[in-house]
Structure 1
Amino acid sequence: MNARSHATVRAQQQCIPPLIVQWLDQFGEKKHDGHGGVHRYFSRTSIRAMEREFGREPIRKLAEYLDAYKLDSSHDGYLITIGHGAKRIKRR
């Protein structure tokens, strides 16, 4: 994970484990924000894929982190910020 110092601090403040960041990269849905960023988040489809991969029980135990999101730069791939989703991500 290439991260700016702000993103590293935010991950620690939000108590988001590195495993969740890895799962966001591997299973998370991508949405371009139109301003040079790429949002990654867990959708129903990605959660179901994780359940098939790891089983339902581990995903249920980590359910408090499934509202996590991250914002990567589309230009250089660096992690800009990470956090817990307070509102839904609108999809068209």
Structure 2
Amino acid sequence: MSALATADLHMTTHSRTRLQQRAIPPLVVDLLMQFGSASRANGAERMMFDKSAIKRLRHHLGGDRGLKVVERWLNVYAVVGDNGLLVTAAHKSGHFRRQ
């Protein structure tokens, strides 16, 4: 899980625009920061909902019923720079398969 706290996450103008254009609610980014799995690449963390992140999220939301509310955004990823700024967020290409 990321060491970045949700309250510390600041967005660039670019990332705010991308969230709006891609219809990704800020709540989803918050959930990614809390429960997502991180991978390092090019001086940034890429946060995503992998199998273990979905398991953590499912537990937090009270089971499959709670998970259903955010299911359409489980294919979203966010890129956070080492400076703590949200660089961008997008939908992964391809079809999402529930894990």
- What TM-score comes out, normalization by structure 2 length? 0.81
Q: Of 64, 72, 78, which residue of structure 2 is paired with 1:64?
A: 72
Deviations 1:15-58 (Å, cap 9, x if unpaired)?
1111111000000000001x111100001111111111112112
Tell me the CA shift for residue 61 of structure 1. Answer: 2.7
Residue 21 in structure 1 maps to residue 32 in structure 2: no
Q: Find the aligned partners of 2:23 and 2:14 in 1 and give their Cα distance.
A: 14
* Residue from 28, 50, 53 that aligns with 1:43: 50
Asked whether 1:11 is paired with 2:19, we answer: yes
| 1:37 alignment partner AA | A
How well do the aligned residues superpose, as a CA RMSD in angstroms? Answer: 1.4
Structure 1 vs Structure 2: percent identity of aligned residues?
27
Secondary structure of 1:62's counterpart equals helix
Aligned length: 86
TM-score by length of 1: 0.87
Gaps of 5+ in 1: 88-92
